[in-house]
Amino acid sequence: MFNFWENIGRYPRFFISAMLGLTLIITTPFQSLLKNTTGKVIFVSCFITLSLVIAFILKNMLDL
Protein backbone atom coordinates (compact mmCIF):
# COMPACT_ATOMS: atom_id res chain seq x y z
CA MET A 1 0.00 0.00 0.00
CA PHE A 2 2.93 2.33 0.68
CA ASN A 3 4.12 1.82 -2.90
CA PHE A 4 0.71 2.97 -4.16
CA TRP A 5 0.82 6.26 -2.20
CA GLU A 6 4.43 6.81 -3.24
CA ASN A 7 3.38 6.53 -6.90
CA ILE A 8 0.43 8.88 -6.31
CA GLY A 9 2.86 11.41 -4.79
CA ARG A 10 4.99 11.31 -7.94
CA TYR A 11 2.21 12.46 -10.26
CA PRO A 12 2.44 16.21 -9.41
CA ARG A 13 6.18 16.14 -10.07
CA PHE A 14 5.61 14.38 -13.38
CA PHE A 15 2.89 16.88 -14.36
CA ILE A 16 5.13 19.88 -13.59
CA SER A 17 8.09 18.45 -15.49
CA ALA A 18 5.90 17.52 -18.47
CA MET A 19 4.42 21.05 -18.62
CA LEU A 20 7.87 22.66 -18.39
CA GLY A 21 9.16 20.42 -21.18
CA LEU A 22 6.16 21.22 -23.36
CA THR A 23 6.64 24.94 -22.74
CA LEU A 24 10.31 24.74 -23.70
CA ILE A 25 9.52 22.80 -26.87
CA ILE A 26 6.83 25.29 -27.91
CA THR A 27 8.89 28.43 -27.19
CA THR A 28 12.14 27.30 -28.84
CA PRO A 29 11.13 28.32 -32.40
CA PHE A 30 10.07 31.75 -31.14
CA GLN A 31 13.43 32.28 -29.46
CA SER A 32 15.23 31.71 -32.76
CA LEU A 33 12.73 33.99 -34.52
CA LEU A 34 13.39 36.85 -32.08
CA LYS A 35 17.14 36.96 -32.76
CA ASN A 36 16.87 39.37 -35.69
CA THR A 37 14.87 42.54 -36.30
CA THR A 38 12.70 41.14 -39.08
CA GLY A 39 11.68 38.24 -36.88
CA LYS A 40 10.76 40.61 -34.06
CA VAL A 41 8.54 42.67 -36.37
CA ILE A 42 6.83 39.54 -37.70
CA PHE A 43 6.32 38.15 -34.19
CA VAL A 44 4.87 41.39 -32.80
CA SER A 45 2.56 41.90 -35.78
CA CYS A 46 1.30 38.30 -35.58
CA PHE A 47 0.78 38.64 -31.81
CA ILE A 48 -1.20 41.87 -32.21
CA THR A 49 -3.27 40.42 -35.05
CA LEU A 50 -4.04 37.26 -33.08
CA SER A 51 -5.00 39.31 -30.01
CA LEU A 52 -7.35 41.49 -32.06
CA VAL A 53 -8.97 38.49 -33.73
CA ILE A 54 -9.57 36.78 -30.39
CA ALA A 55 -10.95 40.00 -28.89
CA PHE A 56 -13.27 40.49 -31.88
CA ILE A 57 -14.53 36.89 -31.71
CA LEU A 58 -15.16 37.07 -27.95
CA LYS A 59 -16.87 40.44 -28.29
CA ASN A 60 -19.28 39.06 -30.88
CA MET A 61 -19.84 35.79 -29.03
CA LEU A 62 -20.67 37.50 -25.73
CA ASP A 63 -22.62 40.41 -27.23
CA LEU A 64 -20.48 43.01 -25.54
pLDDT one-digit tens code per residue, 8-63: 888 999 999 999 999 999 989 888 888 889 989 998 999 999 999 999 999 999 98
39 burial via Cβ count (<10 Å: 0-12, 13-18, 19+): middle
Measuring CA to CA, how many Å separate 58 from each of 48, 55, 63?
Answer: 15, 5, 8
**Cβ contacts of 52 within 8 Å, gap of 6 or more:** none
**Domain edges within the chain:** 1-33, 36-64
Q: Given pLDDT bands bounded at 50, 70 and 90, which one contains residue 3?
A: confident
Indicate the DSSP class of residue 35: T
Structure confidence at residue 46 (pLDDT): 92
Q: Is this prediction's pTM over 0.95?
A: no
Measuring CA to CA, how many Å separate 33 from each of 2, 8, 36, 46?
Answer: 48, 40, 7, 12
